A and B are shown apart, each in its own frame.
Chain A
Amino acid sequence: MVEIVFLAPFIIGIIAFFLPKEISRRLLVGIGAIHLLLSLLLWKNRPEAIFKSYFAVTPEGLLSLLVISLLFFLISIYTVAYLKESEIQHENIFTGSMILFLSTMTMVTLSDHIMVMWIAIEATTLASAPLIYTHRSAASLEATWKYVLICSVGIAMALLGSVLITLSMDIGNVDAPLSFSALVIVAKTLDPMWLKAGFVFILVGYGTKMGLAPMHTWLPDAHSEAPSPASALLSGVLLNCAYLGIFKTNKIMHAAGLNDFSGTILIVFGLMSILAAATFILKQNEYKRMLAYSSIENMGIIAVGTGIGGIAAYGAVICMIHHSLIKSSLFLSSGNILLGYGDRFIKNTGDMVTRMPKTFVAFFSGFAGISGFPPFGIFIGELFIIVGAFKTGHYIAAGIFILSLCVIFAGFANQVMKISFDDSDSNKIIGLKEKASMVWPQYILLLTSLILCFYMPDTLYQTIIDAVTAIGGGFK
């Protein structure tokens, strides 16, 4: 009964549109808890789906699902407090869309059929569009327009890519279901030319959604205009969902022996994203946009790691998990900063260390984690990727990679120092009491990331290894 994990939030999400806002707030936390429980059950039992040709439980899907569940639960606790502090019109649309968004993302992680995957990823775009337009300002309208149009057009490319893969089956005279797991088995008999063409279109399509440069232009707008809990979801888990589409297609490419081709393209797109992030992060004057560019950087890192393969692919998955944990905590903290200072520009903040000490702790340690300081997990992931790059002789790629990381660290650190320690206008009143429910979710996210570096449960480790072995990753 795998399907219930996304059907339950789907039904409750629709109901939430019509309930009074007090109840739908409670519903948000409730469904978060239920979803987390269901995901853990799925981890434990790994049941088969009812519609076997459309859905399946895969290692990479389970990893993303657990991240989604955990993040959504913690974010929903934060959201309740956030909604009390901020004035949002039509709050029901916000909470309802959040729950629907959870449902669609869960569907992405469980889908096995190529076209169902497409449907689910397009559905995430549609469910999250109302979240970005929550504030109903001209800027948020522009961000929503860009988001829906660019992502829909991008994902249309992925649909074309999926169609081309079916063509590669027809030409290769393959009779198999159109699912990722079946295609991996028959990959060798697929027509290589059309398979390659399909992969390129799928990479461009889902890459748009994942925020790979040069298709990333919607991402900073959408992530900065959405309310902070929604930004945390968009950045923390939605990008992973798009990556999952690429990851699964890459599995077919690996099984067909075309991983050199797909790897090279992934590395090129990944490096472009890291470079684009490095260029724009240096002169950012809004903190939420800065975090958004950092997401583009991390997606680039993950793409590079996946492209290199071997130990670097393991590093990429580690980076993916820890990026989700740390970046969502950063976005939640940025929500506190926004509520506290009432301003989105870095120059109008400052002296956070004395004025909002609890948020400062979360924000600053999040910054340390995301820029790759030990003992946080991104450090380990990036280390694996760099070692993998040297081992496989990708010296130029490794050079660009390390250089860009340094530039991004410098730019990021500069802005964080300004927010944390610069003198601010002391007459300015901080409009936020730092309640426990508005800082503890961040602490828990960061602690989880920290604990995972020192102690990783065996089943988690084994699932990661199972996932990356299929794209030629691991420690051999």
Chain B
Amino acid sequence: MILHPVDTILSLVLLSVLFSFGSSRLPGLIKVIAFQGIIVSMVPFFIGHDMTAGGVVFTVATLLIRGIIIPMSIYVAIKKVAIKREVEPIIGFHASMLCGLGLIVAATYISRQLNIPFISNYTLLFPTAIALLATGMFLLIARRNAIAMVLGYIMMENGIYLIGTTISVRARHIVEFGILLDVLAGVMIMAIILQNIKRTFDDVDTANLRTLKE
């Protein structure tokens, strides 16, 4: 079996997924997000849809926002308020790594079962998308640091984008761009809230955010 170029770059994303399970420091995690953002927005170039000029512009804009602007804004938010750099795990790193491996295996198995006709040429596409989604969920659940949770959300969005752009050509670029702007605005608002959390509690540990119950 010959490996398609898309699969080659996606295998790097899968590795970065594993890395994000084990990374204990926020700057490292942000770099992983930026890397995934860039790769995921490059995938449409390699998949056989015809690229119009407008399509190229939108893809490049996506790459800029997903790969550079969003990670940078989170990074600046950390720098500005000098937040602690640890992700404060609820589930330990070794256990997380094991979860990650199991998750990738499960993602591969599931996508074999589903057998979607359009992307059967690209062996790793669907597994990677599922893995990104599930890893984002995992970070949301298993990390107490508020920034790690935002990063989890961005990773989920990356996964959905990967599925969305590849299995279907229907969503016109203008709509995709709207979705992207929404995500960008969401991340910006989250960054503002993060700074306020830091100012109010002097920390971004979400254990502080437990006063409202029932």
Contact = CB atoms under 8 A, between A and B. Distances in A.
B32 to A, nearest CB: 19
Interface stretch (B53-61, B94-102, B156-164): B156-164
A123 interface: yes
A429 B39 CA distance: 63
A367 to B, nearest CB: 21
Interface in A140-155: 141-146, 148-149, 152-153
Interface string A163-201: 100110111000000100000000000000000000000
A171 B118 CA distance: 9
A246 to B, nearest CB: 19
Interface string A94-126: 000000000000000000010110110011011
B50 interface: no
Given A160-B133, A221-B212, A119 B182 contact: yes
Contact of B168 (A145, A153, A163): A163
B190 A149 contact: yes
Contacts of A141: 193, 196-197, 200, 209
B179 A159 contact: yes
Main secondary structure of the interface of B (DSSP, over half): helix
A42 interface: no
Contacts of B193: 129, 133, 141, 144-145, 148
B175 A116 contact: yes
A160 B160 contact: yes
Nearest to A218: B212
Contacts of B153: 149, 152-153, 156
A143 B212 contact: yes
Contacts, number: 109
Interface in B89-138: 116-118, 133
A395 interface: no
A280 interface: yes
Contacts of B196: 133, 141
A447 B76 CA distance: 52
B82 interface: no
B49 interface: no
A163 B160 contact: yes
Contacts of A138: 200-201, 211
A163 B130 CA distance: 13
B170 A166 contact: yes
A50 interface: no
Contacts of A224: 212
Contact of A122 (B140, B182, B190, B209): B182
Nearest to B118: A170
B6 interface: no
A139 interface: yes
Nearest to B149: A149
A113 B172 CA distance: 11
A24 to B, nearest CB: 21
Interface in A1-37: none
A126 B191 CA distance: 13
A297 B176 CA distance: 35
B179 A119 contact: yes
A412 to B, nearest CB: 16
Given A138-B201, A139-B211, A146-B209, A167 B116 contact: yes
B90 to A, nearest CB: 16
Contacts of A119: 175, 178-179, 182
Contacts of A143: 212
A104 to B, nearest CB: 10
B186 A126 contact: yes
Nearest to B133: A160
Contacts of A139: 211-212
A143 B197 CA distance: 11
A129 B193 CA distance: 10
A434 B185 CA distance: 40
Contacts of A116: 175, 178
A145 B197 contact: yes
12 contacts: A115-B171, A119-B175, A125-B186, A139-B212, A149-B140, A153-B140, A160-B160, A160-B163, A163-B163, A163-B171, A166-B167, A169-B170
Q: Which 9 A-B pairs have the closest CB atoms?
A: A166-B168, A142-B209, A119-B178, A115-B175, A122-B182, A221-B212, A163-B164, A166-B170, A178-B170
